[in-house]
Amino acid sequence: MAEPIDPLDELRAGLDALDTAGLRRRRRIVTTPCRPDTRLADRDGAVLAFCSNDYLGLAAEPAIAAALRQGSERWGSGSGASHLVSGHYAAHEALEQRLAAFTGMDDALYFSTGYMANIGVMPALVGRGDAIFADKLNHASLVDGALLSRAELIRYPHCDLGALSARLAASSAPRKLIVTDGVFSMDGDIAPLPELLALAEAHQAWLLVDDAHGFGVLGPQGRGCLAHFGLASPRLIYMGTLGKAAGVSGAFVAGQRDVIDWLLNKARSYIFTTGAPPMLAEGLLTALDLIEQGDARRAHLNALIARFKAGLSLQRWQLLPSDTPIQPLVIGDNHETLAVSRALDAEGLWVPAIRPPTVPKGEARLRIVLSAAHSAEQVDRLVDTLKRLEATQA
Ligand SMILES: *Cc1c(COP(=O)(O)O)cnc(C)c1O
C-alpha cells in the first residue's frame, strides 16, 4: 500500500515549487478605479497601468456609473432567482434585444460571465461521440467548455487552416464544432474568420467565435470581429464579453433564434445560476450607446497602437505582430520576464508578466494593453522605458 500523503503538506510543497519556478501568482490591491493613472496598496505614488482590458476607457465612465445608480433605484440589488424561474427582468430582456440588433443576429442570451458562457454553450451543442476543433491558443474557458462537453477535443496549431481542414476531413463525428478566439487574448492577432467559416460550411460544422477582445473594438461602431470581416451565416455562433471594452460585467451569445432558444433550455451555466443584478443590464445599455458612438475613442486607440508599434524598436525582446490593443512583448524566460516587470514597476509603469500555463513554456511575456484612456505621452513613456530597460538588463 502506498503511504498516505498529508494533503496540506503536499499543497505547501506545491506552492514552494511554484515559487522556485517563478510561477507563483500574487494579486495586487488596487485603490483607484480602473484607469491608466492607478494607485496600489503595496506601493507609494501612482503607477501608469498598461494591463486592463478596458480598451475604450469605459470601466470608470461616469455615464455608466450613473445608469447603474438609476438601475439600482429602479431594480434594487439582486435578481432573486435564475432567469428561468423568476430572475429575468425587463432590463435583461432589453439588453438582449439590443445586443442582437447591435451584432446583426436574430437573438442573444446574456450570461453572468464569459467563462460561464463558454462552459455552457459548448456542452449544449456537442456531446460524447462528437468532435470539437479548437485552436491551440484558445482561451482556457473554451478548453474547459470542450472538456465539460465530453466531445473529442481536437486541437489544431494556431490559425493553421490546412491542419484544421485535414482534421475535419478525417473526422466521422456526427456533430462538429469549430471554436476560436476572435482576437487571441495573449497574442493579439485576429483569427482568419472568413476561411474558418468556409471550412465550417463545407463540413456542416458550427463555428463558435469568442470575441472577448474584439467586441467594442473591431468593426464598424465596434460591432466586433464578424462585422470587421462582414460575415454572416446560420453556422455562426458569436460570443462577446461585457467586462472588457464594455466596461461592466457579463457576456452574451448571439445567433439564430433557435440556437439561442436551445441554449436557454440546455446551457447549464445559464440555467443553474442566479440572474445577474438587473442594474448591470441598465449600465450595459448605456455602455452600448457609448460603444456605438465611440468612433473617436476607437480612432484614438488605433492611433496609439500605431504610435507604440512605430516607436518600439528592440534587439532581443520580440513584439508579436498585432494590430489590436493587445501588444505582447515576448521575453521568454519566466524569471527574466518577472524581473523586467519589476523594473518597470520601479519606473512607475505597471505591465504584468504573463507566464505558463497561460502562455506556452519559454514564451513568457509582458502583455501590454493599450486603451483609449491612455494619452500619446503615456505611450511614449512606456516605449522609452522599455528601450532603456532592454539596453540595461543583462
Ligand atoms: C476574458 C475572456 C473570457 C472570459 O470572460 P469573463 O467575462 O471575464 O469571464 C473568455 N474568453 C476570452 C478569450 C477572454 O479573454
Q: List pLDDT tens digits, range 34-62.
A: 999 999 999 999 999 999 999 999 999 99
Among protein residues, the one with the nearest Cα to ligand 1's atom 8 is 114
Give CA 87 to chain center in angstroms. Answer: 26
The answer to whether residue 9 sits within a structural domain is no
Mean pLDDT (the chain, rounded)? 97
Q: Which strands form 353-354's sheet, in the order they lie side by side?
A: 318-319, 326-332, 364-369, 353-354
pLDDT at 25: 86
**115 alpha carbon – ligand 1 mean position (Å):** 6
The answer to whether residue 178 sits within a structural domain is yes
Tell me the C-alpha distance between 37 and 48, whole Å: 5
Give the percent of the chain with pLDDT over 70. 99
With a 6 Å cutoff on the Cβ, whether 113 touches ligand 1 is yes
Tell me the C-alpha distance between 308 and 330, whole Å: 15
pLDDT at 394: 57
**213 alpha carbon – ligand 1 mean position (Å):** 8
pLDDT at 26: 87
The answer to whether residue 8 sits within a structural domain is no
Q: Which atom of ligand 1 is nearest to the CA of 138?
A: 13
Check which CATH number belongs to the domain holding 199 and give it. Answer: 3.40.640.10
* Per-residue pLDDT tens digits for 319-344: 999 999 999 999 999 999 999 999 99
Do 89 and 133 lie in a common domain? yes
Please count the structural domains in the chain: 2
Mutate to test the pocket of ligand 1, among 185, 187, 253 (most ligand atoms within 8 A of CB): 185
Mutate to test the pocket of ligand 1, among 135, 186, 241 (most ligand atoms within 8 A of CB): 241
* Single residue among 254, 269, 292 that ends a domain in this structure: 292
Check which CATH number belongs to the domain holding 350 and give it. Answer: 3.90.1150.10
Among protein residues, the one with the nearest Cα to ligand 1's atom 2 is 212
End-to-end CA distance of the chain: give it in Å, rounded.
51
Using the structure block, give the residue that is written with the C-alpha cell 485603490. 31
Please say whether the beta carbons of 178 and 204 come within 8 A.
Answer: no
With a 6 Å cutoff on the Cβ, whether 367 touches ligand 1 is no
* Per-residue pLDDT tens digits for 246-302: 999 999 999 999 999 999 999 999 999 999 999 999 999 999 999 999 999 999 999
Helices 257-266 and 114-125: angle between axes, nearest 10 degrees:
100
Do 271 and 361 lie in a common domain? no
The answer to whether residue 13 sits within a structural domain is no
**139 alpha carbon – ligand 1 mean position (Å):** 7
> pLDDT at residue 85 above 80?
yes
Tell me the C-alpha distance between 293 and 191, whole Å: 26
The answer to whether residue 6 sits within a structural domain is no
Three-class SS of residue 365? strand
**208 alpha carbon – ligand 1 mean position (Å):** 14
* Single residue among 292, 309, 342 that ends a domain in this structure: 292
Average pLDDT over residues 9-37: 93
* Per-residue pLDDT tens digits for 100-109: 999 999 999 9
> pLDDT at residue 207 above 60?
yes
> pLDDT at residue 95 above 90?
yes
Average pLDDT over residues 178-201: 98
Count other C-beta atoms under 10 Å from residue 306's C-beta: 11
pLDDT category of residue 210 using cuts at 50, 70 and 90: very high
What is the DSSP track for 97-145?
Answer: HHHHHHHT-SEEEEES-HHHHHHHHHHHH--TT-EEEEETT--HHHHHH
Three-class SS of residue 188? coil
Three-class SS of residue 91? helix
Tell me the C-alpha distance between 25 and 106, whole Å: 42
The answer to whether residue 120 sits within a structural domain is yes
Do 230 and 373 lie in a common domain? no
The answer to whether residue 7 sits within a structural domain is no
Tell me the C-alpha distance between 221 and 227, whole Å: 9
* Per-residue pLDDT tens digits for 101-156: 999 999 999 999 999 999 999 999 999 999 999 999 999 999 999 999 999 999 99
* Single residue among 250, 269, 292 that ends a domain in this structure: 292
The answer to whether residue 3 sits within a structural domain is no
Domain interval for residue 121: 62-292
Do 309 and 236 lie in a common domain? no
Do 267 and 310 lie in a common domain? no
CA nearest neighbour of 334 among 47, 50, 25? 25
